[in-house]
Structure 1
Amino acid sequence: MSGNLPAQSVTADYTQRVADDLAANRSEQERVRSELARLQDELVRLEASEQVLTKMQEVLGGTPKQTLKPSKSSKGAAVPAARGSNRKKAAGKAAVAAGRKASKKTASPKKTGEPTWLELTTAYLGGQSEPRSAAEVAASLTEAHPERAVQVAVVRNSLEQGVAQGLLERSKQGRSVFYSPTAPASVPSGS
């Protein structure tokens, strides 16, 4: 009977090790699933940004620098990933920077005679009594112009273009950015 005690002890040790390894494995699986979901979200954001930038490039008459569609493995290499919580911010800044490099006509393809996004955004803000965020402007333009495909990134680029041209002012409240028309210069009376 004394031979059974060491065998039971070894079995108990192995049982505990297997249980610990199984728990560690499940924990690691959860970590990897979480990381995979985060990466998939980031990829979706990058692809959406790519579509907006491609449309802007087409509207502006530019030709793509890369004629072949990048492979899935090289897609992430085209835009360096930002670190930590700054990913969304970096994607937004990249879109804004691309909009600033664009010529004065910003937006998705428009029919002849239709106002540009810059004209629409400045006109909308001109009728407002307080500053508005890009999302609020985009939502209002969606309601006012259902025939046009309104994208927040395009509206934000148009707003930033208005700021660069001195038509609009940008203000920050915490992490939020709001836009309003610039105050008109006062004209001295002639008498």
Structure 2
Amino acid sequence: MSEGTATTTTTELTSQYISQVASDLERNIKEQERITAELTELQQQLTTLQQDHTVLVSIQQALGVPATVPDSASPDSASVPSPRKRTTKAPGTRRPAKTGTAQQPRTKKQPGSKPAARKAAAKATRPTLVNLVHRHLTEQSEPRSAAEVAEALGHAHPDRNIATTVVRTTLENLVAKSLAQRTKQGSSVYYTAADAPKPTAPTGEAQPETAG
């Protein structure tokens, strides 16, 4: 093979490699873009589900229903691995004798377990939304709408996600238990504590709220 033929062959191979690498690189970039788009969509779905979960838990607390753990989160629902099969020892073999005292494995401390336990205990002991709403009504001298109660509790407890719809459900639950009274003025609904004096027309600018 002449020198010119060898040079031509090498050039063709180099061109093929360059074309192949460029094609693979383009395919890799497109695959990254596709996976990134899917991750973004999944993250948005997860955020929406978490927000819905927070609202649903708040409604459960407002109705006095204890929080439930889904079966999928229960330890008992996890699949248990099948036991390992014991291997049959060959006849005449002996197990090696143990020398010295067996050393017990050290258990590693879970980092951050104490702060997590303290945080869970503090969350368990904090008052429920029902108690907060009822206490707020007893401290008021004038009727309050659900929007006004939600706004006041939101300022007093910024760490809690207090929605107007959940507060309205809580107020109606208190009315059903004869712990609060409902008064209607036009298209607006106002609430007072059951042991408060007979409600009068609210003074000042109050946010109107449609019944229901």
Same fold (TM over 0.5): no
Richer in helix (by share): 1
Give the TM-score taking structure 1 as reference length.
Answer: 0.44
Give the TM-score taking structure 2 as reference length.
Answer: 0.40
